[in-house]
Amino acid sequence: MQYLNAFWVGGVICAIAQVLIDKTKMTPARILVSFVVAGVILGSLGLYEPIADYAGAGATVPIIGFGNTLAKGVMKGIAEKGFIGIFTGGASAAAGGIAASIFFGFVMAIIFKPKQK
Amino acid sequence: MKYSKQEYLDYVDKKSPDSPIWKNVLIAFLVGGAICTIGQGFSEFYKNVVGLSEENVKTAVPITMVFLGALFTGLDLYNKLAKHAGAGTLVPITGFANAIVSPAMEFKREGWVLGLAAKMFTIAGPVLVYGINSSIIVGLIYYLIQKL
């Protein structure tokens, strides 16, 4: 059942983004930025965790989940380290994804040549 | 004949063909859902087969998806899919990896520093700027509320 939940929730999140692209002419970059910020806000209010519990990767794989990770991380950071946690919490929680993006992005960009359009 | 900017936009809007929105949305739903289902597969694999802790699964899945997104962008398969899938390939974290690799590959010829490395962040940069900044603002508010 977890697979079905992941499929339809993840699909709905992407479908919402597609409606925004088609109806508001938002650029892909703006969609990504808005969805991350939305994830931080939803995560900080504790509204995203129930969705993540229900849908698993359907909620964590979309970029909103990245925002949720940042928000949860900052609250955990504050609980553990106090004021310093405001600055370290978000980035620490998201460190794996960020570092992997930079590393694999770099490696793949070196290995592969851009295709002629 | 003179148009104001708004009149011109309305005119262009009227003349440009309606994109079949329901079809775009359906494809975005199916492809986005499929990518998340793959992510779920890795999640189950890391939890049940590899035996990672829940905390580590939550880090391992994004890393895996970012790797795959970057690889399939390099192979020119992701962009082919993205042409049809729109937000279905954009919104999953694989789309974030795609947004890093595509410009980095393209601008490689302009050098290793200001070409490849700088252009990696054309779209990823703004995502990190707004993501991390909003998390810091949320943290400040949360911290102050706790102190009051």
Q: What is the mean pLDDT of each run of 10 residues along chain B (148 residues)?
A: 71 68 95 98 97 95 98 97 96 98 96 96 97 98 93
Q: What is the pLDDT of residue A90?
A: 97
pTM: 0.90
Structure tokens at A70: 């940042």
Q: What is the pLDDT of residue B19?
A: 63
Q: What is the pLDDT of residue B49?
A: 97
Structure tokens at B105: 């590959």
B residues 77-116 lying closer than 8 A (beta carbon) to A = 79, 86-88, 90-97, 99-101, 104-106, 108, 116
Q: Is A117 near chain B, with CB under 8 Å?
A: no
Are B93 and B62 in contact, with CB atoms under 8 Å apart? Answer: yes
Rounded Cα distance, A49 and B127, in Å: 21
Size of interface A-B (CB pairs under 8 A): 277
Cα angle for residues A83, A89, A95 (degrees, 5° grid):
155
Count CA atoms closer than 13 A to B143's CA, side-chain side. Answer: 20
Q: What is the pLDDT of residue A54?
A: 97
The torsion defined by the Cα of B116, B117, B122 and B128, in degrees rounded to 10, comes to 150
ipTM reported for the complex, 2 dp: 0.95
Amino acid at B130: Y
HEC profile of B5-48: HHHHHHHHHHHCCCCCHHHHHHHHHHHHHHHHHHHHHHHHHHHH
Rounded Cα distance, A97 and B67, in Å: 10
A49-71 pLDDT, tens digit per residue, is: 999 999 999 999 999 999 999 99
Contact B37 A86 (CB under 8 A): no
Contact B92 A10 (CB under 8 A): yes
Q: Can you give the pLDDT of all 117 residues of chain A as single tens digits?
A: 799 999 999 999 999 999 999 999 899 999 999 999 999 999 999 999 999 999 999 999 999 999 999 999 999 999 999 999 999 999 999 999 999 999 999 999 999 998 765
